């Protein structure tokens, strides 16, 4: 099964998006600008794309496994969520970051990745005095091994 994603490139200096066949269902995103950050500075890194996601889907943007090692940046919102209503011609995807050391990010550097996910269904919460499951010992009780 496949889905068609309408994409508008807002930079001609980044590579076109493409899935990495047989390796991952995450797709790399690249910086669309040269960025210089001093330790402690934050910014929104432009990713050079705007997309129209299919109805009922959202995109999850996270750092690549090498992003911290290579650039010394942390994604400040831990995971970016883009829903399908963020789909205007100039609704550029960005990554919010904080530098933990002085760093340089160059146009075209792979700094994050995304995948699309079905949105959560509508939930109804039913209040009860007993859930019926066995207590496991509280939050954090599974130990370190």
Q: Which residues carry out catalysis?
A: 83
What does the alpha-carbon distance between residue 116 and residue 112 come to, in Å, rounded to a whole number? Answer: 14
62 contact partners, CB below 8 Å, separation of at least 6: 75, 79, 80, 112, 113, 114
Phi, psi (rounded to 5 degrees) for 129: -90, -15
């Amino acid at each position: 099964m496949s889905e068609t994603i309408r994409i508008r490139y807002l930079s001609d200096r980044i590579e076109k998006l493409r899935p990495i066949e047989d390796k991952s269902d995450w797709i790399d995103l690249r910086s669309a600008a040269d960025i210089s950050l001093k330790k402690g500075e934050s910014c929104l890194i432009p990713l050079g794309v705007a997309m129209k996601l299919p109805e009922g889907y959202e995109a999850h943007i996270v750092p690549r496994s090498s992003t911290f090692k290579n650039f010394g940046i942390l994604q400040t919102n831990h995971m970016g969520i883009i829903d399908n209503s963020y789909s205007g011609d100039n609704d550029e995807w960005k990554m919010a970051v904080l530098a933990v050391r002085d760093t340089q990010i160059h146009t075209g550097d792979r700094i994050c990745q995304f995948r699309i996910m079905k949105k959560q269904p509508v939930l109804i919460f039913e209040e009860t005095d007993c859930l019926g499951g066995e207590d496991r010992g509280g939050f954090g009780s599974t130990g370190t091994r």
